[in-house]
Chains A and B, each alone.
Chain A
Amino acid sequence: MRLLLKYDSKTVKRPLLSSAALKTGALINILRAFVESRKGEILIEVPDEKAKEVEDFLISEGVSVLELKRGVTVDENCVHCGLCISVCPTEAINFDEERKILVFEERCIHCEICVKVCPVSALKLPEV
């Protein structure tokens, strides 16, 4: 499960992900991180069975936690050129057997690079 963590000026200074890993024993994978002195946003992946525990712990420490269920989606404007494929850092976009664009939403880390690259504005990220 992918969780989007938002840190404020207090929580961003603390090693909360390490605490969460030690406390719950969950193997946490960081997919994307943006950290500055007064705030931070980190996208992590945790095994489903540990997700609740990790989430509860982080919330109790003051981190806002959002589960990312959806990834980028493609609409009817798509002409299936594939320009988005090579810029995706997680290989979440590929062709199907007809050479139409296929998105593996569960791999999407909401980095938005594909959205900005698409020449026909066919890719959209869901609001989180």
Chain B
Amino acid sequence: MEKTINEINEKIKEGNVSVATAKEIKEIIAEIGVKKAVKEVDVVTTGTFGAMCSSGVFLNFGHSDPPIRMRRVWLNDVEAYKGIAAVDAYLGVTQLSETRENYGGGHVIEELVKGKEVELRAIGYGTDCYPRKEIETEISLEDINQAIMVNPRNAYQRYRAATNSSDRVLRTYMGTLLPNYGNITFAGCGEISPLNNDPLYRTIGVGTRIFLCGAKGYVIGEGTQHSPPFGTLMVSGNLKEMKPDFMKACYFPGYGASLFVGIGIPIPILDEEIASFTAVRNSEIETEIIDFGVARRNRPVVKKVSYAELLSGKVEIKGQEVRVSSLSSFYMAEKIMKELKKMIEKGDFFLTEPVDSIPRSRVLKPMRQKVMFVRKVMRGAIVLKEDVSLEEAAKVMIEKSINHIPIVDDEGKLVGIITSWDIAKAVAIGYKGKINGIMTKKVVTANPDEPIELAASKMEKHDISALPVVDVNLKVLGIVTSEDLSKLLAR
């Protein structure tokens, strides 16, 4: 059996459309099968509710008298982008307030939607056509001409989960990650999330009408970083029609501000293929847990997991049971699915045919970057064995004019480091023994294939000025010093 979107819209008009939420459809299909489900169900409503940092609002404030061409504008001291026309601006949710703590663009947007007034402050160039140079006033959503939410990347189909192998607490956009694999956090709503129920993007495409924070919005196209099955959507909707119940400003300690965005997308059940996709279960949706303890773009994968495992609340890592937290609200996502279902049943929401489709495959490219690796800047290290005398080490430092000597064992394996400072200190306290008595044994090292930024941040963090460069077996390959790095900057 096949249906068209027009036929479904006709049913919505007549008030006899059959709608199931993405949660309900799984039970229905399990019970009566795909074939019957196509007959019984016309629309499946999907939902997601999570912090979506790539979100914001285009605002038009109207013209003042005398008029101003705003060069910069702030709302409650949160700056909005002003590289567009005179009184247009784009306020992004992650932009931070210049005066208020734990407050950002998402909070300003939430206050506007709640009907509150916000302070507007702007400065202008003072041109012949726009003579005014500054303005301060208060505005509410009612006072401004347009407030259009345009979110470049929302509704991630699935997302990588996070954990932390390092020995310190990490504060990230994935929440607080406790040391030594202390917890796992994940984002996305799994089997009820829109794109997982239409993985070939047959019905969700350019122009699809959606539920966006309580208003009717639209899919504009693929979102930024769209990379199936990690698909994303760019969406838009009228902020003036949005409801505070379906959005929430947030602040992640140590990371910054964002906005919880609520999205619901109806999927018309046109044929068996579409119906069968909506039967997808959390156990079939896979993702990876990655280690945020490694400060690189390609963070190592700790484990592959399904959303069912993540949702169980506990996942085993290296023999230990680790507790899992979600960043998305499944309660809110379900509330959105039910709300959208009600709107469709009441005849308040009609479905749309996509104007164009969004790509089914896309490769995510890293930034083209002038990366300089440690290998390029390191120099040969002069090393000494641990049983040499203080005088001998001092002599080598003066002869070679160096300040750091890695100390190695008979196999050339790093066992310590000695600096000119260590020697000065030893002389001051009248130390007479071998260098192994004064060397630093816990050595911070670099790897030849790490970017120099990482080496620099290690030196800064540990307040040291050189790192022996070692291979996986701790064999000393060279040394990189802060002087070498500062010379690069001076070029």
Residues in A lying within 8 Å of B, measured CB to CB:
77, 79-87, 91, 94, 98-100, 113, 116-117, 119-121
Closest to A85 in B: B325
B323 touching A86, Cβ below 8 Å:
yes
Query: A82 to B186, alpha carbons, bound, how many Å?
Result: 10
A100 touching B248, Cβ below 8 Å:
no
Chain A facing B: main interface SS: loop
| Cβ proximity bits B226-239 to A, threshold 8 Å, 1 near / 0 not | 00000000000000
Of the stretches B65-73, B249-257, B266-274, B474-482, the one at the interface is B249-257
Interface residue? B421 (CB, 8 A): no
- 6 cross-chain pairs, A with B, having the tightest CB-CB distances, nearest first: A119-B250, A86-B325, A86-B183, A86-B323, A80-B331, A82-B326
B185 touching A80, Cβ below 8 Å:
no
Known A-B contacts A82-B325, A87-B183; A117 and B332 likewise in contact (beta carbons under 8 Å):
no
Query: A93 to B467, alpha carbons, bound, how many Å?
Result: 44
Query: A81 to B262, alpha carbons, bound, how many Å?
Result: 12
> Which of A80, A85, A91, A98 gathers the greatest number of chain B CB atoms within 10 Å?
A80
Instruction: Return B49 CB to nearest CB of chain A, in Å.
Output: 7
Contacts of B249 in A (CB 8 A): 120
Contacts of B185 in A (CB 8 A): 83, 86
Query: A99 to B324, alpha carbons, bound, how many Å?
Result: 14
Interface residues on B, range: 20 to 34
Q: From A83, A113, A117, give the contact of B326 (CB < 8 A).
A: A83
Contacts of B251 in A (CB 8 A): 119-121
Interface residue? B329 (CB, 8 A): yes
Known A-B contacts A84-B325, A99-B330; A79 and B248 likewise in contact (beta carbons under 8 Å):
yes
Query: A119 to B326, alpha carbons, bound, how many Å?
Result: 12
Contacts of A80 in B (CB 8 A): 329-332
Query: A85 to B324, alpha carbons, bound, how many Å?
Result: 8
A81 touching B326, Cβ below 8 Å:
yes
Instruction: Return B27 CB to nearest CB of chain A, in Å.
Output: 16
Interface residue? B292 (CB, 8 A): no
Query: A78 to B185, alpha carbons, bound, how many Å?
Result: 18
Interface residue? B327 (CB, 8 A): yes
A83 touching B327, Cβ below 8 Å:
yes
B253 touching A117, Cβ below 8 Å:
yes
Closest to B248 in A: A79
Closest to B325 in A: A86
Contacts of A119 in B (CB 8 A): 51, 175, 250-252, 258
A85 touching B248, Cβ below 8 Å:
no
Query: A98 to B178, alpha carbons, bound, how many Å?
Result: 27
Known A-B contacts A86-B184, A86-B185, A98-B331; A77 and B248 likewise in contact (beta carbons under 8 Å):
yes
